[in-house]
Amino acid sequence: MYNLQNIAAQFALNGTPTQIKALGEGFINDTLFICIDGQEKPSYILQRKNHIVFPDVPAMMQNIKMVTEHIKAKVKDPLRETLTVVPTKDGALYYKDEDGNFWAVTLFIGDTMSYTKADTPEMAFQGGLGLGQFHMLVSDFKEPLTEVIKGFHNIRWRFQQWDEVIAKDPVGRVKDLQEEISWIESRRVQMLDFWSKFENGIIPTRVTHNDTKISNFLFNAADGTLLCAIDLDTLMSSTMLNDTGDALRSYTNTGEEDEKDLDKVSMNIDMFTAYMKGYLSMMGKELTESEIENLAFSGIYITYEQVLRFLMDYIDGDNYYKIKYPDHNLVRTKAQYKLLRSMEEQLPEMNEIVRKLV
């Protein structure tokens, strides 16, 4: 479909590309790896950045460049402990092809593992450490960052999109989804109340990753320790609670994000404890009281938002997320709702654990 050799040739690669093959499970971009003649392992990651989802890819790449340079100045192994953007031969951070597609290259970080699910509390602990370390590394980053996706975790903005999609009902799915829609509506006020605390400045603004599911982190293959955060497309200024929230949604789930057998889906409190232990060991002293108070709730907030986004995309006719079968977004909605219910039931216990750890 694309002339990948020609695209790769635009970048300042060290050597001649042999294989260029698809990799990864992302829902938004197309991710490939590039092998270089004479090298056994892949050397680069090539991505077609989704310019419908990210309307300003150049600004997004600039965010990534600035933040990764900031991190590189602080870590021991700058080529492994964050992404390295490989420029084009002209020195640009991306290449735009004749069809208007945007492409970017980063160094492939080898001897690593990536996962879609955490299997042990140790993995969750490592995940928490990794996010805590990422937040520490960017805590003194002061340049303004472009808001690459408008209102990404802003539930007020999401409700605006939601109301429009429901009113439009472009593929006639609303009539069969009354129960699912009520899951969203019954929590609307509660979620707006939470977001108001950020809007009012009670919860502070920081540099945040905004897409902290487990597959967006690399683990060291040798010993299972966490190496670094990747998939930096959604770097923005927001609340760190987006990041703990999305990580809890991912690391504590006993099932897959799109599990069909809902009996397999719940929040595992031991994974929660392990994740928080890791995260707070890095960031515990940095957080404000308002952030600490909302740590456990952040999982509920982002899981709720994810239920809304999957359902909204289903109602909209599946335009945003890549799907593997026709009702995939509805399956995702139901699985994430089951997780949300499980988190809601365990919220008092989660809050108690955070208090003890702090």
Q: How far is CA 135 from CA 199, 244, 314, in A?
A: 21, 10, 33
Residue 283 CA to residue 297 CA, distance in Å, equals: 17
Residue sitting closest to Mg ion (CB): 231
23 touches which of ligand ADP, Mg ion, ligand GN1, none (CB within 5 to 8 A by kind)? Answer: ligand ADP
106 touching ligand GN1, by CB under 6 A: no
x-or-dash string of contact with ligand ADP, 224-253, rule CB under 6 A:
------xx-x--------------------
Q: Which of residues 222-241 bind ligand GN1 (CB under 6 A)?
A: 231, 234
Residue 212 CA to residue 203 CA, distance in Å, equals: 19
Q: How far is CA 211 from CA 26, 199, 306, 334, in A?
A: 11, 20, 11, 20
Q: Which of residues 154-213 bind ligand ADP (CB under 6 A)?
A: none
What is the distance of C-alpha 88 from the center of its chain?
Answer: 26
Residue 358 CA to residue 353 CA, distance in Å, equals: 9
The answer for residues whose C-beta is within 8 angstroms of residue 36's C-beta and 6 or more apart is 13, 14, 15, 16, 17, 18, 43, 44
Choices 78-86, 94-102, 208-216, 341-349 (CB under 6 A): range interacting with ligand GN1: 208-216
Residue 195 CA to residue 170 CA, distance in Å, equals: 29
29 touching ligand ADP, by CB under 6 A: yes
216 touching ligand GN1, by CB under 6 A: yes
Choices 138-146, 191-199, 210-218, 344-352 (CB under 6 A): range interacting with ligand GN1: 210-218
Question: Residues interacting with ligand GN1, by CB under 6 A?
Answer: 26-28, 53, 211, 213, 216, 231, 234, 257, 306
Q: Which residues bind ligand ADP (CB under 6 A)?
A: 23-24, 26, 28-29, 31, 45, 83, 106, 108-109, 112, 114, 215-216, 218, 230-231, 233
